[in-house]
Structure 1
């Protein structure tokens, strides 16, 4: 739920950033996240946890996420891809470090004090970082034409790609450890697969930037998701071995991070530096729809078609289709860019 609210709420961060600036928006998000964690530490019922940890924290995270990944584009031209890759690599490293740290704190001080400690750490890390945020290029007179960006065919195609990615992206994250348990691996060994994906995701977000420089951002992300889709299907349906699962976790973690690294570059090239935050927020709304569709549907597909038969065929096909459609969407974007302007494209539909 946090992911859906964070991505969906990002659609508001563009106009807010244009009006109040990167620093104020990011620091406001930091304060909201800290309050959400502290309030969550006092909850006694599930609905209270949903409102605090799910909704309120997601709103705060949306105010941090979109400005943070859009800001490097304003400060770098020649090394924009690498700067963006290094920026988004922080989320992979954070997922790897804080997952282990949170588990250890919960084992020693309990979940209530763990949430309070995380709030304090978030205030220190994100608060200090956000204090250095500064806009380099001012908003154009008259503001950003929100309607023109929303209806632009190029943004719609990038949004569809994000929807398809998040509809199939979480299949290995959620079901690869379960598949490892099914073949007799220990819980500790199966949980390490998620650690491998987090670690390779951190490296992959930087390497994706170098790939974008060498072969072009659209080519690199389309190829990355094509490989991820095929590998997910083959390993989870045919291979069914721990060696295959380790290979899948490492390769998938590294390549699937391409969308996070490359989407800001693609949108910057299309809409310019001034409008990239607004465009990124709209694309994140598409991604939120993918999360809302993908996660419940994956669970229903697994429970209905795979779990009774100790199989992962149906859920692997789900992931394959989602990621393959994402790859195809980026190829469609390239066709639109090569064949004509958005106005001409609409006139032909």
Structure 2
């Protein structure tokens, strides 16, 4: 059997009981998956630092959007400003289609130049004054840098955990929730309630991120040797389970990104103070810390796809109620509920993809290709919703569209279970 054949066989849903392949023999040389230990948790901690710095910072874009509309980009429509954040979110996952295979083939070195470029992009953003400046630095450059950090770090963690994989990924991505608390509060305070100014506010965030990037560069390491086969693995798309999980990720990305972009703007439209409205994102991300850790633990017991699909369902239901929340107490309760439910989506999606291949050396590629396709929804979703807000002057249409998208994701996720040996009612 050729090495290409070995890689193709790893993408199939089933393998014969008791059968052994050359890839099994190679992996056996490195012993069983540790599922813990100092080395494994150091990798997870390094990945959590990346998640804190990258996805956590992205989750604070609602603060930037609200600020830009009254300062640097005053007069620009909401959907145009939303493109900056959506491009960044798209790039950080779409770039994984390259970063994932690079990690699988060459190891963790891909993280180091990405960390340097990320801090550089942060500093350049602090100097921006025009729309195209922000689009280039905060949208494109920052997004591409984050893509070389996130997907490889997720893939590294999957090599150290198996039975505890959902819990480990939940803890890693909970780092983004902590970042999503710290960044919005700090940025809102500096931008709206101090004399520091925009430039130094962003630079201070860069100084906070730098030591975390340094630690991650040394902590995140692969456990297994790199694979030597094709750069991409097109045979993965023969796996129907994988295809339906990609569809589920796509529709959930379209829906769940909406409150992250528009919740502060919606709260201000309901009469909430601008600074307090920005804090809602911190509440969302604080609640999502538990929404990533607890479902991650449950996913290892009750099924990774089950948890992912259920998270999308509750996220959709909550988003559908957006326009009925009209006061401060309601907005805070809404933020807590949405944060907990939506916290499952990225960690749950990552864990669900991990059951699509038996070879952990392919995980960077599987995650990269899957998230790259799913990220298209993150690119088009916020601007479409921004256009709805501009067109109708309200948020009802936005909540209906985004909520229904998450419910469609639920259907796609559960359909993926039909292509597992456990079936639709299994704990998978």
Contact kept, 8 Å, 1:150 with 1:282, in 2: the verdict is no
The Cα shift of 1:91 comes to: 0.9
Residue of structure 2 equivalent to 1:231: 318
Q: Is 2:98 the counterpart of 1:12?
A: yes
Q: Offset at 1:339?
A: 8.5
Q: Is the 8 A contact 1:30 1:122 kept in 2?
A: no
Partner of 1:207: 294
Query: How far has the Cα of 1:330 moved from its partner?
Result: 0.4
Contact 1:75-1:136 at 8 Å conserved across structures? yes
Judged with a 3 Å threshold, the aligned counterparts in structure 2 of structure 1 residues 142 and 236 are, in CA distance, closer, same or farther, namely closer
What TM-score, normalized by structure 2, do the two folds share? 0.72
Moved over 4 A (4+): none
What TM-score do you get using the length of structure 1 for normalisation?
0.88
> Retained in 1: the 8 A contact 2:125–2:133?
yes
Return the structure number with greater helix share: 1
> Which residues of structure 1 form unaligned runs of 5+?
341-349
* Structure 1 segment 90-109 matched on structure 2, within 5 A: 90-106=175-191, 107-109=194-196
Query: Does the alignment pair 1:335 with 2:422?
Result: no
Summarize the Cα distance change of 1:95–1:176 in structure 2 as closer, same or farther, 3 Å threshold.
closer
Change (3 A) 1:199 1:153: same
Equivalent residue of 1:274, what SS? helix
Partner SS state of residue 83, structure 1? helix
Q: How many residues align?
A: 334
RMSD: 2.2
Report what 2:162 is aligned to: 77
Partner in structure 2 of residue 343 of structure 1: none
Give, in angstroms, the shift of residue 145 of structure 1. 5.6
Distance in 2 (alpha carbons) for counterparts of 1:241 and 1:52: 36
Which residue of 2 is the match for residue 318 of structure 1?
401
The answer as to 2:376 corresponding to 1:289 is yes
Q: Which piece of structure 1 moves more, 190-199 or 252-261?
A: 190-199
**Structure 1 pair 231/44, CA: closer, same or farther in 2 (3 Å)?**
closer
Q: CA-to-partner distance for each residue in 1:71-121, whole Å, 9 max, x for gaps?
A: 211112232221111111001111211222234445343322333333333
Asked if residue 26 in structure 1 is aligned to residue 108 in structure 2, the reply is: no
> Using a 3 Å threshold, how does the CA distance of structure 1 residues 336 and 196 change in structure 2: closer, same or farther?
same
Structure 2 unaligned blocks of 5 or more: 1-86, 424-428
The residue matched to 1:297 in structure 2 has which SS? helix
Q: Deviations over 1:287-340 (max 9, x none)?
A: 2210122111101122223x1xxx432111111111101111101111122499
Secondary structure, counterpart of 1:109 in structure 2: coil
2:244 and 2:416 in contact (8 A); partners too: yes
The 8 Å contact of residues 180 and 281 in structure 2, kept in 1 or not, is answered as no
- Structure 1 equivalent of residue 17 of structure 2: none
Q: Tell whether 2:345 aligns with 1:262.
A: no
| Structure 1 residues 269 and 191: CA distance shift in structure 2, 3 A | same
Instruction: Kindly state the Cα deviation for residue 239 of structure 1 after the two structures are TM-superposed.
Output: 5.2
Q: Aligned partners of 2:307, 2:129: CA distance in 1, in Å?
A: 47
Within the candidate set 170, 173, 194, 2:281 is matched to 194
